[in-house]
Amino acid sequence: MEVSELKARFDSIEFPVVDIMTAKMWVARMDLGTYFRLLYLIKTQGFHYAIDVVAAGAEMALGHEVTLLERAPILATLQHIQDHAKTLEEPEQLILQHCYKELRAKKMTRQRAALLASTILDKPISTNAWRKKTDRWAEKQGMEPLGQTKRRPRRRVPGQNEDA
């Protein structure tokens, strides 16, 4: 596998990462949700903030402060995500797949899905436009479209003039 190659398989993505401090190379694998959340964090909060967040998670998992040597793979992975997200052949397809899965499981709101897509694709996308695009994508994949969310009927207040 070449260093610049990115592969999306089912609900995960894998890509080679080279640690510049140790010259070690490994294949990073993560689910699309994690990949897009990290990319979103980098784009909205900045690269160094993303490093600090991931390092804090590593510190909690390891039970000690992350050393510079332990921080290097974090830096290499996030750098690769930032640099090579642009090389995805069809990033919109991956985002549609991820959003559909999250929306179907009710783990993401339509507004959040549109915000994620807008941020990752670097173009403004309205909630309604992304909903329609997600539904069209689902139909092309042979899956059930999510459709519009049902709104609750307005509650009538006794004594209020309905013509007003």
- Give pLDDT, residue 55: 94
Where does residue 141 fall: left (phi above 0), alpha (psi -120 to 50 degrees), or beta otherwise? alpha
- Taking a C-beta distance cutoff of 8 angstroms, is the pair 6, 90 a contact? no
- Indicate the burial class of 82 (C-beta count within 10 angstroms; 0-12, 13-18, 19 or more): middle
| Rounded Cα gap, residues 28 and 18, in angstroms | 10
- Give pLDDT, residue 1: 33
Q: pLDDT 10s digit of each residue in the chain, 164 long?
A: 333 334 444 467 777 888 777 788 888 888 888 888 898 899 889 999 999 999 999 999 999 999 988 888 888 889 888 887 777 667 888 889 889 988 998 988 999 999 989 988 888 999 999 999 999 999 998 988 887 665 566 676 676 665 54
Q: Which two tokens stand for residue 148?
A: 């519009």
- Give pLDDT, residue 149: 60
| Rounded Cα gap, residues 160 and 25, in angstroms | 70
